[in-house]
Amino acid sequence: MKVFGVSGHSGSGKTTMIEAMLPELSTLGVRTSVIKHTHHDFPVEPPGKDSARFRASGAYEVMVCSAHRYAIVRELNGTDVPTLDEQLARLAPCDLVLVEGYHDYPIPRMEVFRHAVGHDPRCLADPHLVALASDESLPFKPEVWPLNEPAQIARLICQYLQIDTVGRGG
């Protein structure tokens, strides 16, 4: 399982970039999972639904499963947030995991950079930074990838990580 990070300031388009790359990765036959870090609480299901009631009643974990998907929800209840390595260990086997956020973890990454967001790139000193994805021509080494070409960026990530797409749709 290969791991690649997508970093950038809030509002730079990290989620949009990942969302736009996923169809190309699927076309290439690359089974891809995504981990997203958030600083906010987030609803998993509407209050009053069975799974929410189980969690509210003290269940350690709740799994909801249907013919279409399943989800496992665990309340942390003051325990430490799982490390990225712990989260990766819980994922099903896949070819690639795209990680949004976690810019402090030592994984290869690109930074989505838009000058219009009003900040300088955040990861320039990061030894794990592979490229900036930008809509501007910038004097950056090692590379600047074309922000508005997510399919090309998906292929560049596969090339960088040496994910073989030959015979799998690529």
- Per domain, the residue ranges of the chain are 2-40+81-161
> How confident is the model over 23-54, as pLDDT tens digits?
999 999 999 999 998 877 777 788 888 988 99
pLDDT score of 157: 97
Q: State the virtual CA torsion across 50, 52, 57, 63 in degrees, nearest 10.
A: 80
pTM, 2 dp: 0.90
Cα torsion 112, 144, 151, 105: sign: negative
Q: Which class does domain 2-40+81-161 fall in?
A: alpha beta
pLDDT score of 73: 87
From the number of C-beta atoms within 10 Å of its C-beta (0-12, 13-18, 19+), residue 20 rates as middle
pLDDT < 70: residue spans in the chain: 167-170
For 162, residues 6+ apart whose C-beta sits below 8 A from its C-beta are none
Residue for token pair 């509002």: 11
